[in-house]
A and B are shown apart, each in its own frame.
Chain A
């Protein structure tokens, strides 16, 4: 069972017919006023459809519209990337190269320091006695030894049994 409002809306839209139309129009208290309202409603509907309704696009227009939107979207993306690049110095690429450079510098310093502190090469920084000899005729019982006082970095050639000399030989 339709309400009056439903029947009224259907009547305005011209959807009532036959017996139902006759009964509804008979139930109207002022048919002339209702007819005037129906005309106004139709005019308003036509006006709204004309002014607000979506314009149907042809195939060509739709294709052009899609293209324009895509071009606009793609041209906007690089500028957005540029904005990001400008806004921060530490891009991934720069971080990568900075890291690589830091590592290279560290390795150079590490190699340099390790070469300095290599225990196997430490002795080259102490003086060394390559060989030593005394005159066997002058000092037949002389002996020679050598050692390094590593704490003080002093290298000593130690002789024993050299000919002793009088105190006069200490003269300048």
Chain B
């Protein structure tokens, strides 16, 4: 009886300790988004649906269009990739994984010119939005989401 209880307790403890470490391969979606105010806005792209509310509330635009995107499945947490549009490129360099998420180095290029660089910790539960330069009447936004 005592042995059974100890075994059961140890098993539960083991499973619970192991659970946070069991991170399945996750995909990071990175997108270049143009936010604008238009008379008849198009539906928001599915990748942005979960943050539609905060996007509209924070930036005050009614239409969000993806002009470049990339979705990368991270296996080692050391991958890098590009999300590009005709004139912009977002280089994402994953530099490791922690319990909270991924450490990423982000570089926004306009053609070959570096406009912005940042180091971030991207959490699975928390999308990251970066306000870029004004483009015409709209705004370039960089969005990163762990899917």
Contact = CB atoms under 8 A, between A and B. Distances in A.
Interface of A: 93-94, 97, 100-101, 104-105, 108-109, 112, 124-135, 138-139, 148-149, 152-159, 162-172
| Main SS class of interface, B | strand
B135 A170 contact: yes
Interface residues of B, number: 52
Interface in B53-98: 53-54, 58, 65, 67-68, 85-88
A105 B12 contact: yes
A167 B138 CA distance: 8
Contacts, number: 158
B21 to A, nearest CB: 13
Interface of B: 1-2, 5, 8-9, 12-13, 16, 34, 51, 53-54, 58, 65, 67-68, 85-88, 99-101, 103, 110, 113-123, 125-138, 140, 144
Contacts of B114: 135
Given A101-B8, A170-B136, A157 B130 contact: yes
B129 A138 contact: no
A155 B13 contact: no
A158 B133 CA distance: 10
A105 B11 CA distance: 10
